[in-house]
Amino acid sequence: MKVGLVAPGAVRSSSSLERRIVTLAGGLAHLGIEVEVVAQDPALRSMHASRHDGVVLVRFPATRHGLGFATSPPLWEYVRRHVGSWDIFHLHAARGPFGVAAGAAPSLPLVFTPHACIQRLMRWPHAPAVRAVLDRAARVVALSSAEAELIRGLFPHAAHRVEAMPPAVDLMKIRAAAAFDYPGHAVVASGPLDRHLERAIAAMAALDEYFGLVILGNGSATRRLERYAGDLDVRGRVLFAGGAPASVYYRWLRTARVVVTLADGEPSGSELVEALAAGAAVVASDINVHREAVGASAVEARVRFVEPDCSPLELADAIADLAAAGAAPGDAPAIPSEVTAAETMVALYQSLGAPEPANRLTSRIA
């Protein structure tokens, strides 16, 4: 079996999207699947191909247009030329003009995984592309049961083709990551540099000085957030670490006393699950996907839910309480590994006519 994982919006060190794809690719490769990941990287000037841990990774430069999203025409040309060698075309997309995928290799099973909440994807200018891909897809694999229900509600004609895949993480890489030498209690926050991170910065003003905030992510709002931290006189306790590749991201999770994830429109609780797998406590926005993720991991004592629009003082109280409590001895979440999740995906691929993997290996349970 050969699977093409195409992620037109995934860029190196950008977000959880790439970590999810790399995690899935690694699990599939461990099961004897030939995997080709096709993505993009704005730092590149020409195509770059590499092979790592049995996965072929092909990256293309990203081209920016005035609509605020990235596209790479050479990426789609590569897909057109190589899709015929795949048994499954699995599209992963959070934004961008990915509607071209609907017309690629019409005889090949297309699996679509949206990496943004469906309400956000249905806004202009993405809605036509989303509808075209949903109509074409043999299966739509949501990143949570809550998101799957939303998709079924918006597209009842496709409800029978929508499935949910619980969050899975690369447990071995997370637990093997070495923590940074960080003074005090590290509070780690990642994601879009927006108002959610403003509240995390403001919470620092209400916390003792041995708390420091590490912000992982890139964006045009970085300077504004730096000025905001300066206005609150906490700039020296806020580290803007930029976009972090998975290896660095996992090290920060291992360093964190508390991880903060306040997004109110996420399709998956994977960032929360990654933090729990690293041994950190988590302050999370009280949304369905986060509740679902915690229910699967059975570590409720290490999670504090807050309203998505909570005040900085409420956030600070939650951080301080969790930091004081610490993790329970022997506290280990029961989180699916990347191989366990890949086995579920292989079963789905085979239900669409893909052949049995050659030299299939047994699961690696962490």
pLDDT, tens digit only, all 366 positions of the chain: 999 999 987 655 456 788 889 899 999 999 999 999 999 887 788 999 999 888 999 999 876 553 344 567 889 999 999 999 999 999 998 876 688 888 888 889 999 999 989 988 888 777 888 999 999 999 999 999 999 999 999 999 999 999 998 777 888 899 999 999 999 999 999 877 777 899 999 999 999 999 999 999 877 789 999 999 999 999 999 999 988 888 999 999 999 999 999 988 888 888 998 999 899 999 999 999 998 888 755 566 789 999 988 999 999 999 999 999 875 544 545 677 788 889 999 999 999 999 988 765 544 333
pLDDT of residue 363: 40
Question: Does one domain contain both 158 and 23?
Answer: yes
What Å distances lie between residue 210 and 44, 46, 322, CA to CA? Answer: 39, 45, 15
Question: Does one domain contain both 147 and 191?
Answer: no
Question: Does one domain contain both 115 and 104?
Answer: yes
pLDDT of residue 362: 44
The domain that holds 151 is classified in CATH as 3.40.50.2000
Sole residue written with tokens 């996965």: 55
pLDDT of residue 10: 67
What distance in Å separates the CA atoms of residue 92 and residue 353, rounded to the nearest whole number? 20
What distance in Å separates the CA atoms of residue 86 and residue 35, rounded to the nearest whole number? 9
pLDDT of residue 338: 85
Q: Which two tokens stand for residue 146?
A: 């809550």
pLDDT of residue 296: 54
pLDDT of residue 353: 94
pLDDT of residue 15: 66
Question: Does one domain contain both 203 and 275?
Answer: yes
pLDDT of residue 127: 87
Q: Is the residue at 298 inside a domain? A: yes
pLDDT of residue 129: 87
pLDDT of residue 98: 83
Q: Which domain holds residue 161?
A: 2-168+337-351
Q: Is the residue at 178 inside a domain? A: yes
Contact 235, 229 (CB under 8 A): yes
What pTM value is reported for the model?
Answer: 0.89
Question: Does one domain contain both 208 and 296?
Answer: yes
Question: Does one domain contain both 161 and 175?
Answer: no
